[in-house]
Amino acid sequence: MPRMHDDIDHIDHIDRATIRVGVVDSGYPASLGACVVEARRFSLDDAGTLQAGAVEADRLGHGSAVCTTIAAAAPDAHLLVAQVFEARGVTSAAQIAHAIRWLLTRHVHLINLSLGVRADRDTLREACAQA
């Protein structure tokens, strides 16, 4: 399988004060409000239609832990959070792909995806290739 970004060394040239890190997860803690410059929730309604809206409290805590870790390692980083998990800890490839695409429109330098999916999906593969 070919490497998508053999030129990853370009990351060394990003100003730490302006680095934008996207996090696709369950949310973020209120205590990091100053670090989080944008956040959006991606969910499916009862009919299975993708919806984008305001984030909710992080009921799983995983996204909060990830965001806290990133903020501790890079205190000047601007975080952009895409909430794709709710209380049950379940998401879809469509939600993740939409979140990645939204983060790309926000010009993030990095995207953190600490999650797994049960099956390969074209929509998710295509979003990752765009990133």
Short-list 10, 31, 3, 24, CA closest to 124: 24
| Residue 5 covered by a domain | no
Mean pLDDT of 32-41: 95
DSSP sequence for 65-107:
HHHHHHHHH-TTPEEEEEE---TT----HHHHHHHHHHHHHTT
Could you read off the pLDDT of 52-82 as tens digits, one per residue? 999 999 999 999 999 999 999 999 999 999 9
Provide the residue range defining the domain that includes 44.
14-130
Rounded to 5 degrees, φ, ψ at 12 are: -65, -15
Report the predicted TM-score, pTM, of the whole model to 2 decimal places.
0.86
Q: How many domains does the chain have?
A: 1
Could you read off the pLDDT of 95-108 as tens digits, one per residue? 999 999 999 999 99
Cβ atoms within 10 Å of 85's Cβ, excluding its own: 23
CATH code (residue 19): 3.40.50.200
